[in-house]
Chain A
Amino acid sequence: MEKLMAALKAQIVEQLNLQEVKPEEIGDDQPLFKEGLGLDSIDALELIVLLQQNYNIRIANPEQGPEIFRSVRTMAEFITAQQTKQ
């Protein structure tokens, strides 16, 4: 899980072009949106692309989005759960 979260942080920084954020500065449980990392709705779409591109995971139910993208940890947990299913 730690390794996956570290990889995710690097991918988020790259995919979202967060040039003033270092991957290691993102907390495992830090909220990704609003008061946390401050991501917006376009970033949410980019995160969906990130999952598809890097992990071949499609989000079937868009209503799950807020739960999945709450933090790096929740993203990692979702990826792990999906990979276990495959």
Chain B
Amino acid sequence: MGEVSITASCVIRQHRIYRNGELLWEASQDLNLQDFLRAAYDRFSGQYPKFHKMDHLCKLGWLAAEVLLKEPLDYPPAEVGLILANKSASLDTDLRYYDTVKEFPSPALFVYTLPNIVMGEISIRHGFKGENAFFTSDHFDTELVMSYVQQLFDENAVGAALCGWVEVMNEQYEVILHLVEKEKQGLPMNAENLQINKL
């Protein structure tokens, strides 16, 4: 069993986007979340019209993966796993969908009323077909995520994994996304390095 390390990280919080601890971009704090996400898309991606149809949770996770995976991963699609967690599941979109039910239920919103859809959007973009799991808990349970990821590596179910926290509720959001790999140079996968509180 080789050691699993964090080889890259992306944090999105308070309208700032960091990669490996370095502030890459900062948007005006006056922007609402929708406008911040559009500005971030224009800055880091573009040319992916489906982005505009995603809900906020998917946009956040998708953007973080976009920043994290500037270079394509050198693993077979079935060997890249995704393990994410958050506090509000898909409640932010569930409530928006509920609002539409009173008149015309929106199919476009309905398809985002599950939190794990964000992993689907990331997988479609990057061609991942590996193991995935989405957990919901009040706080980022780093012990749970760590043990789950470690287990996937120990069973040789994955060669690399994206793991972390993708939370949004109304205008409040936070994304902490890591790339973890085995026998590669990086930070040790531990609670402190997964949590990234210092940014």
Contact = CB atoms under 8 A, between A and B. Distances in A.
Interface residues of A, number: 14
B107 A42 contact: yes
Contacts, number: 31
B125 to A, nearest CB: 15
Q: Which 7 A-B pairs have the closest CB atoms?
A: A45-B107, A19-B52, A49-B104, A17-B52, A20-B49, A42-B107, A53-B104
The majority secondary structure among interface residues of chain B is helix
Interface residues of B, number: 11
Interface of B: 38, 49, 52-53, 103-108, 111
A37 to B, nearest CB: 10
B107 A18 contact: no
Interface in A26-84: 38, 42-43, 45-46, 49, 52-53
A42 B52 contact: no
Contacts of B38: 19
A16 interface: yes
Contacts of B53: 16-17, 42
B108 A42 contact: yes
B108 A46 contact: yes
Nearest to A41: B107
A16 B108 contact: yes
A29 B22 CA distance: 49
Highest count of chain A CB atoms <10 Å: which of B53, B105, B106, B111 = B53
B107 A20 contact: no
A84 B108 CA distance: 30
Nearest to A20: B49
